Amino acid sequence: MALTNIHLPIGIPLDRFIKKKQEDFPFATGELSQLLRDIALASKIVNLEIARSGLSGLEGAFGTQNVQGECQQKLDILANKCFIRALKRGGEVCALISEENEGVIDLGNTQGKYVVAMDPLDGSSNIDVNVSIGTIFSIYRRVSEVGGPVSEADLLQPGTKQVAAGYTLYGSSCMLVYTTGNGVNGFTYEPSLGEFFLSHQNIRIPDNPTYYSVNEGAYRSFGADTKAFIEYCKDRRISARYIGSLVADFHRNLLKGGIYIYPKTAAQPNGKLRLCYECNALAFIAEQAGGAASDGMNRIMEIGPEKYHQRSPFYVGTKAMVNEACGFIDLGMVESATRKMPGER
């Protein structure tokens, strides 16, 4: 049988794609492009360490807790250091906030025009069981004067001020997905060449939902409105899929259509996910792909954060499903979820 596909091209390299997109902005000076390259470099290093973690002794707990009181894994610490080092040496970022650090990390780059909010390695509970995990990042232009000290206002900007956001998924393949406000593009890592190549151009989240993703182990602590919406999904034969790694669950629904839900619970009345470095980034990507993101009452990206590690309920995915979920909350739907939604025929 002839190997007809053996010479198919593998796509545009990330560096070339970034450079091409920079040309679309006449006033671009290259700092943001370099910053994205720095994130890609750190992602490659983290991907390598994850791939060999079982052989290099990097599995398991580090023995400390982060500011949220969560047990830190060895790879959490390593990933955090990799990204801090890459962004410091790149010189474009003056400061960042990380899930793994309580306060602002001043990188000493006083001329840097950008700040970053990030979760260096999301999905810690899945690190040791070979399940997909990821990095999430948000990029903002600083509001304080370049050359001066970093201010709290630099890091506490609403999601609408993001200039770029993205995530790296470490799984069966490594993917970098990002947006600069002009659509969403995904790049798959080719390890033998050491480069990310464009594999998913202009990603659009499907209008027809395939999955709903929620930790149903916490079902009894959900509010009646969230329970009703879950029953609503089941009645419409929408399949349940939940990995427990935010990036992996979000990525699947981004490509296949659906909704990811992490509602407030009795134990976590403000929700669990962090607004600044988890919700905002994925909300920006979802909206750029034609989807939506809400805390159940408000558009995620319009919420003004008051604390670096502020938590929020999170509903993100296909626009119609997010709107329906919010409809249950707005109307306090506690009766049978088989009833029709407002406006549904």
Residue 67 sits in a domain whose CATH number is 3.30.540.10
Residue finishing a domain among 160, 180, 200 = 200
Let me know whether 143 and 229 are in one domain. Answer: no
* 119 marked among binding-site residues: yes
Let me know whether 188 and 152 are in one domain. Answer: yes
Cα separation, 241 vs 7, in Å, equals 36
Evaluate whether residue 52 is within a structural domain. Answer: yes
Sign of the Cα pseudo-torsion (41, 43, 48, 49, in order): positive
Evaluate whether residue 291 is within a structural domain. Answer: yes
* 5 marked among binding-site residues: no
* 272 marked among binding-site residues: yes
Evaluate whether residue 336 is within a structural domain. Answer: no
Let me know whether 112 and 250 are in one domain. Answer: no
Let me know whether 239 and 180 are in one domain. Answer: no
Let me know whether 224 and 300 are in one domain. Answer: yes
Residue finishing a domain among 172, 200, 228 = 200
* 235 marked among binding-site residues: no
Let me know whether 32 and 59 are in one domain. Answer: yes
* 124 marked among binding-site residues: yes
Let me know whether 130 and 18 are in one domain. Answer: yes
Residue 247: predicted pLDDT: 97
Residue 342: predicted pLDDT: 36
Residue 219 belongs to domain with CATH number:
3.40.190.80
Domain range spanning residue 173?
Answer: 14-200
Cα separation, 45 vs 33, in Å, equals 19
Cα separation, 24 vs 2, in Å, equals 41
Q: Which band of pLDDT confidence, cut at 50, 70 and 90, is reported for residue 11? A: confident
Name which residue leads in pLDDT, 159 or 337. 159
Let me know whether 165 and 264 are in one domain. Answer: no
Sign of the Cα pseudo-torsion (188, 75, 131, 50, in order): positive
Let me know whether 43 and 191 are in one domain. Answer: yes
Question: For residue 158, how many other CB atoms are within 10 A of its CB?
Answer: 17
* Alpha-carbon distances, residue 140 vs 100, 160, 229, 323 (angstroms): 19, 10, 34, 27
Question: For residue 309, how many other CB atoms are within 10 A of its CB?
Answer: 18
Evaluate whether residue 337 is within a structural domain. Answer: no
Let me know whether 242 and 299 are in one domain. Answer: yes
Q: Number of structural domains, the chain?
A: 2
Q: Which band of pLDDT confidence, cut at 50, 70 and 90, is reported for residue 59? A: low
Average pLDDT, the chain: 88
Q: What is the DSSP letter of 133?
A: E
Contact 338, 235 (CB under 8 A): yes
CB-based burial label for 189 (10 Å; 0-12, 13-18, 19+): buried
Question: For residue 160, how many other CB atoms are within 10 A of its CB?
Answer: 15
Mean pLDDT on 26-42: 86
Let me know whether 310 and 285 are in one domain. Answer: yes
* 125 marked among binding-site residues: yes
* 99 marked among binding-site residues: yes
